[in-house]
Structure 1
Amino acid sequence: MLEPAIILTPVLDILDLLGVAIFALSGALLAAKERQTFVTMAFFALITGVGGGTVRDLLVDAPVFWVSDAWVAAICLITAIIAWFTPTRWWDGKLMDFADGLGLTAYAVLGASKALSYGIPPIPAILMGIITGCIGGVIRDVVAGKPSILMKPELYVTAAALSASLCVGGLLLGLPNPVTWGIATAAGFSLRSAAISWNLALPSYREGQDGIQEGE
């Protein structure tokens, strides 16, 4: 079993704060586009930034990461301030999509690594990585009453799954931690970037796809 202390490295600390900042910004921007108050914007930044990591820590029976680290809440507040004082048009287009993709895959790597370090078996550890990367955005969309990206046939969860799987596989094979984390993040981000650039998506379910017509 990996020791919990193994994840307390500068590389994963950076991935952690990067994921928090990107997801917090996406939450704050959603509140800004809805013309909400600054308090609401800060709340959305917090729940989006820490949502996935909180669920992960509760599931793996670890101390909730942001409760004991004042920097996490501070970063969420700073991103809310940035969103408050900048026009939303600055963040329109695909720039925020790419940033979100980087946060998604970085968080997936962090979640999978942390789960392994707490003795979680490989498959559940991969799922913890996916949860860490995706749940914050799901909570944001549910609270805002918006359709979640998970309900679209985009390569989103797939990118998180790729990063988490490569991370777990590399760590179990004994590859150097920074190499494993870097490759896993880059691979997932590349897949997500390709999906954004070329509208790649998984095939969606269609009623009657096997020739069975409705009502038959």
Structure 2
Amino acid sequence: MDQIIFIDYAGVAVFAATGALAASRKQLDIIGCLFLASVTAIGGGTFRDLILGVPVFWVQNHDYLIVCGAVAIIVYFTAHLIESRYKALLWLDAIGLAAYCVFGAWKGLIVTGSGFIAVVMGVLTATFGGILRDQLAGEPSVLLRPEIYVTAAMAGAVVFVLLYIAGLHPLAASVPAFLTAFAIRGGALRYGWSFPPYRSRPGRKPEDIP
């Protein structure tokens, strides 16, 4: 239990860093940095807990907010040292996505016992905070980038659920699940992996419709 909770803290910290980096790119003040870091870090988990009908994790345990604040302050004073803040944001987002898809899937399983719902919770937990961050900061949405994104979270959640159901300890199941999600998202960032996009085609003429 304690080991899997560590993954949750790691996901919060990494996503808080991406939110703070986005704030630094927009030259926001320290309050804006704290706000964006917190929304990014706890957004996905809050959405998950509301859907599952369980107490929201950061309301029960204020340590998560302390982690968000500490990370935001560190990034606020050190972001200028990073050569490419947007590139760092994307790679940190990949790490956060990999961690959060595992924890979200685990919590979904614990609460509902359903592998399908667990995968959905893993995907929502891993992606919703980053989507909120990009919308609030006016950054190009990670969801709308051409590379694979949601699929990486889904793959990691599926691996975790299958291994957990097979009887592996949660921590043992989380390692290959994390690596799967990060490898797919990292490969997408590095090599541009993507699915074929929809190609527009002309519609039928009214006279051709029976």
TM-score by length of 1: 0.88
Letter in 2 for 1:47: V
Verify the 8 A CA contact 2:22 2:89 in the aligned structure 1.
Answer: no
Q: Which residue of 2 aligns with 1:166?
A: 159
Q: Deviations 1:111-142 (Å, cap 9, x if unpaired)?
A: 01001101242112101000000000111122
Q: Which residue of 1 aligns with 2:78?
A: 86
CA RMSD of aligned residues (A): 1.7
Q: Which residue of 2 aligns with 1:136?
A: 129
Letter in 1 for 2:75: A
Letter in 1 for 2:78: T
Verify the 8 A CA contact 1:153 1:203 in the aligned structure 2.
Answer: no
1:36 aligns with 2:28: yes
Letter in 2 for 1:165: V
Q: Which residue of 2 aligns with 1:179?
A: 172
Unaligned runs of 5+ in 1: 1-8
Deviation (angstroms), 1:147:
3.4
Unaligned runs of 5+ in 2: 206-210
Q: Which residue of 2 aligns with 1:67?
A: 59
Q: Which residue of 2 aligns with 1:100?
A: 93
Q: Deviations 1:95-117 (Å, cap 9, x if unpaired)?
A: 44332211101100100100110
Aligned residues: 204
Matches within 5 A, 1:143-162: 143-162=136-155
Q: Which residue of 2 aligns with 1:16?
A: 8
Q: Deviations 1:25-49 (Å, cap 9, x if unpaired)?
A: 1111111111111111100010000
Letter in 2 for 1:31: A
Q: Tell me which protein shows more helix as a share of its residues.
A: 2
TM-score by length of 2: 0.90
Q: Deviations 1:151-187 (Å, cap 9, x if unpaired)?
A: 1221111110001111111112222322211111111
Deviation (angstroms), 1:16:
0.6
Deviation (angstroms), 1:53:
0.4
1:125 aligns with 2:98: no
1:110 aligns with 2:80: no
Verify the 8 A CA contact 2:21 2:89 in the aligned structure 1.
Answer: no
Letter in 2 for 1:26: T
